[in-house]
Amino acid sequence: MKKAVGRLFTGLLGLMLIAGCTSGNTSSTNSATTTNSAKPEGSLVVYTNSGGDGRDVWLKEQAANAGFDISIVSLGGGDLANRAIAEKNNQVADVVFGLNPMEYERMKREDLLQQYEPAWSSGVDKTLGDPEGYYYPVVTQPLFMIYNKDQYSSQTAPKDWTDLATNPEFKDKYTILGLGGGTSKAILVSIISRYLDDTGEYGVSAEGWEMVKNFIQNGHVQGEGEDFFGNVASGERPIAEIWGSGFLQFTNETGADNVDYVVPEIGVPYTVEQTAIFKNSKNIELAKKFVDWFGSAEFQAKWSNQFGSIPVNKDAASQVKPEIKAMLERVHPQKIDWKNASEKIEMWMEKIQLEYVK
């Protein structure tokens, strides 16, 4: 099982992170204890795309126990970045966590983020974050296609996202998560990255755009408040997108044993969720203390055990549950040029929204 954790971090975007016990555990744990004993004063506004399904309530309670008074705003990753950028001249939030590096790069280009090295930085592979120290990695997420095992076997289920676009048998059978969210964007990048062409529109070949068009128009885009996982389990719409910790959480909470996930031969896209401080925070020092606490090995292990996340912190990663290790036995990451994607994602999404969404 330890090898499974090791393979995740070795393969993740071609970078290495060794899961095991190091001296980082002491410094991370001590930083959390120091933060608690300091009894920080004041309040913070925290932006995240990882606040759904009870995460925001649980985090607020845990933060209060550690002495932090926080308000949490939860939106999809792309929508959240758009909001932060729109608020540039009247910054509301102090801290952000979740989101993938594409969204952080957008905020960084807008000069929204504060450079800061958290107390736990030695416990993570910094190459998974920003080399200039504007954002740091906390959680890694494999992104999956899930399907109802009562309706499909492993042989008849789609083998890849492109099957949904090309096989009429799957038309209207799958849910695409909200296009403003990070999961949906990353899965679209998974498809688009196979068709990069410098001579094509926005760097994508005509064949690639046709594939994306069919993927969008053959599926169903999630509506507000729609239970996409429940629809898969019931068979109402038996295929959907999901993030790794969501699969573990929803199967545990619902007891659904008829839902499985697909691992394409090309691999699955991984996103690395980050955390950062907003440059114009009204309480920078308190924001730093919160980030020190939130990213510590102690808290990230709790977060993982509660919600099935895969922590980047080496000491927290060594404590993940058996079901997470079992998941890591099955998956391998798709090779994706995330830097290129971060530079073009807004153009790609604008074209998709304007031309392909009905």
pLDDT score of 23 more than 60: no
> What DSSP string runs through 209-234?
HHHHHHHHHHSEEPPTT--HHHHHHH
Q: Where are the strands (E) in 170-263, listed by range?
A: 174-176, 196-201, 204, 220-221, 239-243, 259-262
Dist. CA 239–CA 229, nearest whole Å: 9
Write down the residue that tokens 């053959």 correspond to. 218
CATH number, domain 2-140+271-330, options 3.30.470.20, 3.40.190.10, 3.40.50.300, 3.10.20.30: 3.40.190.10
Q: What angle do CA 236, 242, 248 make, to 5 degrees?
A: 100
Q: What angle do CA 295, 138, 335 make, to 5 degrees?
A: 170
Each residue's pLDDT tens digit, 29-42: 333 333 344 456 78
Q: Do domains 2-140+271-330 and 142-269+335-356 have the same CATH topology?
A: yes
For residues 168-176, average pLDDT: 98
For residues 187-213, average pLDDT: 98
Each residue's pLDDT tens digit, 243-290: 998 999 899 999 999 999 999 999 999 889 999 999 999 999 999 999
| Per-chain mean pLDDT for the chain | 88
Question: Taking the domains of the chain in order of start, what are their residue ranges?
Answer: 2-140+271-330, 142-269+335-356
Model pTM score: 0.75
Q: How many helices (H) and strands (E) does the chain have?
A: 15, 13
Superfamily of domain 142-269+335-356 in the CATH hierarchy: Periplasmic binding protein-like II (3.40.190.10)
Dist. CA 276–CA 96, nearest whole Å: 5
Beta-ladder partners of 114: 277
The torsion region of residue 67 among left (phi > 0), alpha (psi -120 to 50) and beta comes to left
